[in-house]
Amino acid sequence: PARYFDTKTTEPISFFLSGLEELLSWQPNSNDEFNVSAVPLAKRQPPLHSRRPRTLVCHDMRGGYLEDRFIQGSATRNPYVFYHWRYIDIFVYFSHHTVTIPPVVWTNAAHRNGVPVLGTFITEWTDGEKVCEAFLASGEEAYGAVAEQLARIAQHYRFDGWLINIENTLSAAAVGNLPLFLRDLTARVHSAVPGGLVIWYDSVLKDGALKWQNELNDENRMFFDACDGLFTNYNWKEEQLERTHQLAGPRQNDIYVGVDVFARGDVIGGGFDTDKSLRLIRQYGLSAAIFAPGWVYEHLGKENFLQNENRFWGSLAEYLPTHSICTLPLTTSFSLGMGTSTFLDGKDEESGPWYDLSAQDIQPLYPELQGRLSTSCCLQDAWCGGSSLQLQGTIAPGEERAVVRLFSLQMPAPPKLFLTLLYKLEGPQPDDFTVTLEVTTWDSGICLEGNPTSLPEPNGRHYPRFLPAPPPGLAKLLAACHRGSHGWTSRCYELELQDCSLRDLSVIVSRQQPSLGETSFTCLLGEVRVLDTASLAASPAQVHSVMASQLWWQ
């Protein structure tokens, strides 16, 4: 069937639903098993409902369902990818189809990095009025059926909820039932999807008129009260942020102030000035909804996309509270889910472009220090997948090393950790440098409940002990300790800790000899792993009843 399989290639594809009829007749179907997310939502700290401002990204690109619709990937050159997951809280996939089911590759990539994904339910223009009249004006049974189907779809495909966008005028009967529909949908999503969310877009008012308010006020408050959040329109001024802050009270973090990166209409910021909007939004303690950050790709072009993307998110970093990893094992090869080649064990196995966001790895922080350090993605060389993480910087005269913070961590430290690192030093004199890992900790007595915006400074710095060979029981898993190849250096370490919590994982690039001059370095990171020794010793669960279906031989 064309809905589930590409007519040209027969490959499985992600899809949307058009109109009320398709939504109400939707049933799970064996053809759409490819569309079910295979990656559970990873835990992170602080959790979504902590008392701090959040960042929502709303992805809207040329109508949606582009190359990202190919569930098993495609040979796309220079595709759009998003990888600054540590800096955001919620990802919304947006299109103008009635029911936008997020392509499963996005759900997989976001979940692996701890970010929930919302689909979009939209009605607009005169067709939208008819749809709303049909399901809202008709009463509880009709809107209950729509709410039930939306909750079932999110549960079946394993994404996390909905953005509701009613962009047409409503009759008195329809608008009267709208808060009841939102309450019903929110309750059903909460019960069907752990941690599920329903967010309302600022559009119609309590009298049914379509009139964007750019703020929370008495005209639209009853919709905000009925669900998990309000995504405001983009043409706000500072006094509207102030009024919104006052009116939202304890729910100020549930207001996502819209920022259109394309800067359409009368807006503050946009493009590389988006930081101006965020600075104001954060002054009032509100959350932000960054709409169409694909501007970087669409407006500035595909050629220098990764460079421009790092510049764009780097310019916003001071207004984006980051997230910590809170479970082990942590293992990543930094792959973006795309490449110009496919690498395995440091060897270029297959030349040619590929794009598959399901294959994106856990992404690190991307720290930038103007003129001193940059972190970027290198597609030309990798240990595994399509890319490695490139650290470029200078060590100033009189200093011995540069510290690059890769991940913030927040969890009780196990008694013993194993860590592995694969790296490659580039440049004229790679032998002038050494590369090591640093783990920072704090005492476990420090309690972080309440408002975890500013974490105390770590009070322990640990340099894991280098192991020339892995311990016998782990030799097979930690084969990496032996197998540096194709110019990659492999290192294996262990670290014993007690009564503390993990805080940061950093890479340190040090000079071998003290120097009076400034020294530049380029280091590629191919893989990092942090493993709890105790859980490695346990034998893995046996796998039973494996079935294969939907086979297509070529």
Name the 3-class secondary structure at 211. Answer: coil
* HSE toward the beta carbon, residue 462, CA cutoff 13 A: 24
Q: Each residue of 66-99: pLDDT tens digit?
A: 999 999 999 999 999 999 999 999 999 999 999 9
User: Which H or E run contains 59?
Assistant: strand 55-59
170 and 178 in contact (C-beta within 8 Å)?
yes
Determine whether 232 is exposed, middle or buried from the number of CB atoms within 10 Å of its CB (0-12, 13-18, 19+): buried
Among residues 385, 433, 416, the alpha carbon closest in space to that of 494 is found at: 416
Q: Which two tokens stand for residue 286?
A: 């509100």
Among residues 414, 305, 413, the alpha carbon closest in space to that of 355 is found at: 305
233 and 202 in contact (C-beta within 8 Å)?
yes
171 and 179 in contact (C-beta within 8 Å)?
no
Among residues 55, 50, 43, the alpha carbon closest in space to that of 318 is found at: 55
Cα separation of 256 and 164, whole Å?
13
Sheet of 460-462, strands arranged across:
44-45, 324-325, 401-412, 500-511, 433-443, 460-462
**What does the pLDDT read at residue 261?**
97
Q: Each residue of 281-297: pLDDT tens digit?
A: 999 999 999 999 999 99
Least confident of 43-52, 57-66, 172-181, 421-430: 421-430
Q: Each residue of 307-316: pLDDT tens digit?
A: 999 999 999 9
Cα separation of 25 and 153, whole Å?
12
500 and 441 in contact (C-beta within 8 Å)?
yes
Among residues 71, 141, 120, 98, the alpha carbon closest in space to that of 358 is found at: 71
Provide the H-helix boundaries in 389-545: 533-537
281 and 232 in contact (C-beta within 8 Å)?
no
Least confident of 68-77, 379-388, 540-549: 540-549
159 and 91 in contact (C-beta within 8 Å)?
no
71 and 34 in contact (C-beta within 8 Å)?
yes
Q: Each residue of 483-528: pLDDT tens digit?
A: 668 899 999 999 999 889 999 999 999 998 877 788 899 999 999 9
What is the CATH T-level fold of the domain 330-537, as seen in this structure?
Answer: Jelly Rolls (2.60.120)
Q: Which two tokens stand for residue 237?
A: 């001024």
Q: Which two tokens stand for residue 312?
A: 């764009």
> 122 has which bridge partners?
165
Determine whether 313 is exposed, middle or buried from the number of CB atoms within 10 Å of its CB (0-12, 13-18, 19+): buried
**What does the pLDDT read at residue 153?**
98
**160-194 as b/e, with b when 16 or more CB fall inside 10 Å?**
bbbbbbbebbbeeebbebbbbbbebbbbbbbebbe
Q: How far apart are the first and last CA of the chain?
A: 19
171 and 207 in contact (C-beta within 8 Å)?
no
Q: Which two tokens stand for residue 391?
A: 């650290």
Pairing between β-strand 324-325 and β-strand 44-45 as defined by DSSP bridges: antiparallel
**What does the pLDDT read at residue 452?**
44
Cα separation of 173 and 166, whole Å?
15
**What does the pLDDT read at residue 552?**
74
Transcribe 360-415 into DSSP letters.
PPPP-----BTTTEEEEEESS--SSBS-EEEEEEEEPTT--EEEEEEEEEEEEPPS
Span 461-472, average pLDDT:
82
Whether the pLDDT of residue 472 is over 90: the answer is no
Report the percentage of the chain scoring pLDDT > 90: 81
**Within its chain, how far is the Cα of 380 from the centroid?**
24
Confidence of residue 449 (pLDDT cuts 50, 70, 90): very low
Span 299-319, average pLDDT:
95
Contacts of residue 125, defined as CB under 8 A and 6 or more positions apart, other chains included, come to 167, 168
Least confident of 1-5, 443-447, 483-487: 443-447
Residue spans per domain, the chain:
16-44+87-325, 330-537
Span 144-168, average pLDDT:
98
Confidence of residue 541 (pLDDT cuts 50, 70, 90): confident
Contacts of residue 380, defined as CB under 8 A and 6 or more positions apart, other chains included, come to 340
Q: How far is CA 419 from CA 134, 387, 507, in A?
A: 59, 21, 12
Span 362-372, average pLDDT:
88
What is the CATH T-level fold of the domain 16-44+87-325, as seen in this structure?
Answer: TIM Barrel (3.20.20)
**What does the pLDDT read at residue 429?**
79
Name the 3-class secondary structure at 162. Answer: strand
Cα separation of 537 and 542, whole Å?
15
Name the 3-class secondary structure at 274. Answer: helix
Decide if 16-44+87-325 and 330-537 have a common fold. no
Phi-psi region of 422 (alpha: psi -120 to 50; beta: other; left: phi over 0): beta
545 and 527 in contact (C-beta within 8 Å)?
no
Confidence of residue 447 (pLDDT cuts 50, 70, 90): very low
65 and 4 in contact (C-beta within 8 Å)?
no
Confidence of residue 480 (pLDDT cuts 50, 70, 90): low
> 219 has which bridge partners?
none
Helix then strand then coil, % of the chain, to nearest 5: 25, 30, 45
**What does the pLDDT read at residue 481?**
58
User: Which H or E run contains 312?
Assistant: helix 305-316
Span 194-215, average pLDDT:
98
